[in-house]
């Protein structure tokens, strides 16, 4: 038959049909009542998603890195000291960005794959009384590790610091409530659990963060965007198609309910982890994010060999990044439902069998089905 490719990468992820339909529509002008109404409705849905009543958030026409840069530029001044949690490629990006904009960076480095012990953050905050912020990922997608943001927030909330969370690979997966989690700046991106093409990012901030708002940015100015976006407009021409599609994405998530969404991703993650172990492989991160499965190949096999075989079977996965190149492979759960994952897992089994590692097929899938359906 003809070839079909299914995308199981942790961003971009498969775009649902209803979103593709929105993307294909004729353009609407952004300086119209029609767009304004949709934009404000989209903002209301976003508030529902993160359980907030405040209007302190903006959308940028950029990829997620742009919103990370915005966080550094808008909430910190030159010379401000920040702690950057570096346990993967995206932690490194925080550190790089902060240095680029002349902050003083205290790196809290972790072995890649580990999650941060919140007590280490407490210790650093005690040692650095002049610290202004903690920069961290919710999900460090390069390693698949989840940092316990809620526990970190309990610590940072009693210091005069801002907790800045890159939740690009976590928003829309976890039921993240920035208020009750004590998050000060929260960042998201379109091409992850929102299932849109890349090009739209989100930045939410707390009242505490509002007090430190600077005038350092131009394109990424939170002040300028906020002034306009509260009224349903934007400072610069917005990514119109992505805003309209974001509304559809938020509707999809909220119709199901973000609690149920998280529950299903958790179920997928648990069942995937067990299935991977049933095949004799190990899950790479210590505390896996439910957004994706980052897996170590069995001894003697290169992760990229496995990925190539899976791709031959129509399943696109991601490899390791930076120092993990060739060392792990990553299968995204984002935008996928319980049944979808059977395809990724089947391709993994067949790939491992073709590479001579497995003698029989079906063990992983059986484990997955049992844990995803039977043991509920």
User: Which CB, 93 or 147, lies closer to its own copies?
Assistant: 93
Which residue in 1, 3, 27, 211 binds its own copies (CB under 8 A)? 27
Residue 125: CB minimum distance to its own copies, A: 26
Spatial neighbors of 34 by CB under 8 A, at least 6 apart, are 28
Residue 296: CB minimum distance to its own copies, A: 20
Task: Give the SS3 label for residue 344.
Answer: helix
Please state, as a whole number, how many other Cβ atoms lie within 10 Å of the Cβ of residue 3.
7
Residue 232: CB minimum distance to its own copies, A: 16
Q: x/- string (CB under 8 A) for its own copies, residues 209-248?
A: ---------xxx---------------xxxxxxx------
Q: What is the rounded distance in angstroms from the CA atom of residue 367 to the CA atom of residue 363? A: 6
**CA 88 remoteness from chain centre:** 14
Which residue in 32, 158, 180, 282 binds its own copies (CB under 8 A)? 32
Please report whether residue 316 would count as binding its own copies according to CB under 8 A: yes
Q: 217: which 2 tokens?
A: 């940015």
Residue 63: CB minimum distance to its own copies, A: 4
For the chain, helix, strand, coil in percent to 5 are 40, 15, 40
The window from 43-51, 61-69, 205-213, 258-266 that contacts its own copies (CB under 8 A) reads: 61-69
Residue 38: CB minimum distance to its own copies, A: 14
The window from 174-182, 192-200, 254-262, 299-307 that contacts its own copies (CB under 8 A) reads: 192-200
**Angle formed at CA 293 by CA 290 and CA 295, multiple of 5 degrees:** 150
Q: 41: which 2 tokens?
A: 């409705």
Which residue in 38, 42, 49, 66 binds its own copies (CB under 8 A)? 66
Please state, as a whole number, how many other Cβ atoms lie within 10 Å of the Cβ of residue 179.
15
Cβ neighbourhood burial of 161 (10 Å; 0-12, 13-18, 19+): buried
Please state, as a whole number, how many other Cβ atoms lie within 10 Å of the Cβ of residue 202.
23
The window from 124-132, 194-202, 263-271, 341-349 that contacts its own copies (CB under 8 A) reads: 194-202
Please report whether residue 325 would count as binding its own copies according to CB under 8 A: no
Backbone angles phi, psi at 164, to 5 degrees: -105, 115
Residue ranges that bind its own copies, judged by CB under 8 A: 7, 9, 11-15, 20-21, 23-32, 61-66, 69, 96-97, 100-101, 189, 191, 197-200, 218-220, 236-242, 316, 318
């Amino acid at each position: 038959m003809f070839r079909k490719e299914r995308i199981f990468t942790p961003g971009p992820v498969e775009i649902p049909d209803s979103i593709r339909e929105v993307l294909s529509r004729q353009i609407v002008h952004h300086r119209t009542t029609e767009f304004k109404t949709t934009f404000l409705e989209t903002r209301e849905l976003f508030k529902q998603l993160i359980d907030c009543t405040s209007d302190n958030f903006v959308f940028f026409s950029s990829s997620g890195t742009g919103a990370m840069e915005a966080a550094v530029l808008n909430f910190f001044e030159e010379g401000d000291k920040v702690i950057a949690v570096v346990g993967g490629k995206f932690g490194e990006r925080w550190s790089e960005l902060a240095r680029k904009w002349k902050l003083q960076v205290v790196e809290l480095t972790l072995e890649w794959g580990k999650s941060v012990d919140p007590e280490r953050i407490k210790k650093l905050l005690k040692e650095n009384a002049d610290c202004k912020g903690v920069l961290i990922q919710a999900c460090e997608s390069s390693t698949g590790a989840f940092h316990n943001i809620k526990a970190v927030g309990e610590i940072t909330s009693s210091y005069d610091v801002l907790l800045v969370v890159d939740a690009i690979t976590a928003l829309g997966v976890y039921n993240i409530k920035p208020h009750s989690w004590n998050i000060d700046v929260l960042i998201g991106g379109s091409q992850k659990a929102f299932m849109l093409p890349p090009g739209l990012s989100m930045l939410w901030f707390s009242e505490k963060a509002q007090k430190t708002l600077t005038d350092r940015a131009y394109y990424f100015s939170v002040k300028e965007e906020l002034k306009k976006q509260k009224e349903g407009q934007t400072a610069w021409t917005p990514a119109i198609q992505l805003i309209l599609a974001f509304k559809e994405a938020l509707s999809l998530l909220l119709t199901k309910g973000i609690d149920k969404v998280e529950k299903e991703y958790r179920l997928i993650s648990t069942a995937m982890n067990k299935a991977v172990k049933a095949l004799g492989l190990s899950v790479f991160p210590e505390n896996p994010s439910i957004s994706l499965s980052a897996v170590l190949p069995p001894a003697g096999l290169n992760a990229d060999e496995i990925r190539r075989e899976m791709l031959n079977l129509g399943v696109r996965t991601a490899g390791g990044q930076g120092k993990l190149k060739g060392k792990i492979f990553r299968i995204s759960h984002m935008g996928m439902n319980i049944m979808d994952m059977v395809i990724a897992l089947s391709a993994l089994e067949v790939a491992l069998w073709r590479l001579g590692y497995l003698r029989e097929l079906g063990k992983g899938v059986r484990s997955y089905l049992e844990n995803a359906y039977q043991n509920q």
